[in-house]
Amino acid sequence: MTDSVVTELDAGTRRIARQVVVDATPHELFEVLADPRRHGELDGSGTLRDTVSGPERLGQGTAFAVNMRQFGVPYRITSTVVAFEEGRAIEWRHPFGHTWRWDLAETGSGGTTVTETFDYSGTKHAKVLEMMGIPGKNATSITRTLEQLPQRFAG
């Protein structure tokens, strides 16, 4: 069994990153990340709904849309994959310019170090996101997502 403690990382200004080690291969984890219909299996925020449209498998430049709910308000968001490295990394950009990135690295003992990063350094709306408390909310959501991830892949 790997250590399932979620670690806070210093990813730089306006970047929220957390990391955990999971008893699963990068391939197993990437299969969930590359299929937008399976993102609900990972969501620790409680905002993601099951209605997803887009390709069955994501790739560089592909777009997908998901139904979300925040602050009691339902909405639909379309994201575009801006980085895709098979079995290692995937990142998608929201229309406002912030991104969500997942990095996977083999541990050498059959597990994977998983890093999830919310990066809002490239958006023109950073101050608005901060005034709304979104970075803190996303930090909590990332932690919850990564806390439940080891159990999701437990034998």
In this prediction, residue 11 carries a pLDDT of 94
Going through 6-88 in order, the beta strands assigned E by DSSP cover 7-9, 15-22, 48-53, 63-70, 73-85
* pLDDT for 77 beyond 60: yes
Q: Which domains does the chain have, with CATH numbers?
A: 7-152 (3.30.530.20)
The pLDDT confidence band at residue 46, using thresholds 50, 70 and 90, is low
Least confident segment among 68-77, 104-113, 135-144: 68-77
Residue tagged 């901060």 (tokens):
130
For residue 60, give both structure tokens: 């560089």
Kindly report the pTM of this predicted structure.
Answer: 0.90
Higher-confidence position of 22 and 46: 22
